Structure 1
Amino acid sequence: MRHFDLTPLYRSSVGFDRLANVLDQVMAGDVSQASYPPYNIEKTGDNAYRITVAVAGFAENELSIETREGQLIVTGRKSETETEKKDNFLHRGIATRAFERRFQLADHVRAVEAATENGLLHIDLVREVPEALKPRKIEVTRKQETLQAEAAEA
């Protein structure tokens, strides 16, 4: 009785808000994603989002961003020379360990730009719904036969 079926909630998800997925992971005890590095997710427009990841201590060439199977994967790996220098520290409070952070993307959401600024990695996302999936308005008209019958009666 500890497992709840949250499948109906998946149908109503918008953007990359996967509340049901998060609840499933919590209920299952899946704590595979640690809290490092911290991140923010913000909505910057009607179909625009921004993920900001704290990557202090990482250079641009040590960061990797990839989209695969509906996920945005942000990876950070320090170079070999940096990890060899750790013997010289008396205290190391700034975490520069390797990380991999995954974000579940909704359908038609794609990353368009990534940039670092002041130790933060900004990833801009856009939701682009294809024309075939956008709602269309269909005009309601009278059938041609009805119009012809009315014209004949007149």
Structure 2
Amino acid sequence: MPDNSHTPNDRRNAIKALLAAGPAATQQSLVEALTAQGFVATQSSVSRDLRELTAIKTPAGYVLPQPDTSGDDEVTAVASLLRNVRPAGPNLLVIHTAIGGAQRVALALDRCGWPEIIGNVGGDDTVFTATASASDQRAVITRIEHCANRS
């Protein structure tokens, strides 16, 4: 029977522990695992918790971002979604992804903290990435290619 004495923070800590053991394929699988541990959890509460924890949805499932000062791990986690990266003028990149992957790639690029990136806009299968200069653009292309080769 679920224990109502658990706080949302307790639930988030339990989600962290579950994700530390490996990716969660779906939010529903997390709900079931939390319920089995005695937590009151719904898909919407788990969704909010994942957002609060800055979890990333990868092809393997939900994962927590790994501590990495370079931000490369954020992009490596979504590298399997990348299809190609092309410059479009001196300050813009067009990044094509698998269908439905652009928002996850844009979010990973937003969170990676690379100083060369000014901002990202993700659609369905295309991300537009703005850089401050042509040299920043080249640096971002190199870093994305490096991350793609690590995956």
Greater helix share, 1 or 2? 2
With normalisation by structure 1, the TM-score equals: 0.28
Greater strand share, 1 or 2? 1
With normalisation by structure 2, the TM-score equals: 0.28
